[in-house]
C-alpha cells in the first residue's frame, strides 16, 4: 500500500494572525467544527442598600426596556438584557467596535427582600431597580419609657 506524505509548510506571520483572527472573532465554530455557544457578558452594576431597600443600577445604553428580564429566585437576583447588534442592511463596516450581545448578572442578595413589591425604571439608558427589604430586617426603633 503506497503511503502518501504531505509536506509541512510553515505559516507566515500574516497567515497565522489571519487564522487566529478568524478563529477568534469571525467563525462561529470551534476547532472541532462545533458551533460556539453564544457569549454572555457580565453586566456591570452598582449595588447599595438604604434603610428600607436594596438598590441596583445598571447602564444599558441602546437596550429596549421591554427586553430586560429581571428575576428573583430565593436570594438570587438575575438581570438579563440583549444589546442589539449593528444594522445588517448591506452595510460594509470598516470599523465595528460597539458592543452587542447578551448581558447577564446574578447577585446573591444578603438580605431578604419583597420581590413582589420591587420597582424597576429605565432612564437615559440606566436601569434603576429597587427591592424593598422584608419587614423583619428593617431597623426597628424601640422607645424608652421612664419608670
Q: Residue 47 maps to which CATH number?
A: 2.60.40.790
Quote the domain boundaries for residue 108: 38-87+98-135
Domain membership flag for residue 69: yes
Domain membership flag for residue 10: no
Output the pLDDT for position 141.
76
| Number of domains observed in the structure of the chain | 1
| CB 50 within 8 Å of CB 58 | no
The rounded average pLDDT for each run of 10 residues, N- to C-terminus, in the chain (147 residues) is: 56 75 58 60 92 94 91 93 82 80 91 92 95 80 81
Q: Which of 27, 59, 19, 63 is nearest to 42 (CA)?
A: 59
Output the pLDDT for position 93.
79
Domain membership flag for residue 142: no
Output the pLDDT for position 128.
97
Domain membership flag for residue 113: yes
Output the pLDDT for position 41.
83
Domain membership flag for residue 21: no
| CB 45 within 8 Å of CB 107 | yes
Domain membership flag for residue 116: yes
Output the pLDDT for position 78.
95
Amino acid at each position: 500500500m503506497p503511503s502518501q506524505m504531505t509536506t509541512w509548510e510553515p505559516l507566515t506571520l500574516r497567515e497565522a494572525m489571519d487564522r487566529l483572527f478568524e478563529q477568534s472573532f469571525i467563525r462561529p465554530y470551534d476547532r472541532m467544527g462545533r458551533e460556539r455557544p453564544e457569549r454572555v457578558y457580565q453586566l456591570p452594576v452598582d449595588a447599595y442598600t438604604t434603610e428600607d431597600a436594596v438598590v441596583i443600577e445598571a447602564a444599558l445604553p441602546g437596550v429596549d426596556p421591554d427586553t430586560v428580564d429581571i428575576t428573583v429566585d430565593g436570594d438570587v437576583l438575575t438581570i438579563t438584557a440583549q444589546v442589539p447588534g449593528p444594522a445588517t442592511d448591506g452595510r460594509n463596516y470598516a470599523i465595528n467596535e460597539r458592543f452587542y450581545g447578551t448581558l447577564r448578572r446574578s447577585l446573591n442578595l444578603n438580605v431578604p427582600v419583597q420581590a413582589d413589591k420591587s420597582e424597576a425604571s429605565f432612564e437615559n439608558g440606566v436601569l434603576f431597580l429597587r427591592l424593598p427589604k422584608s419587614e423583619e430586617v428593617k431597623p426597628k426603633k424601640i422607645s424608652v419609657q421612664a419608670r
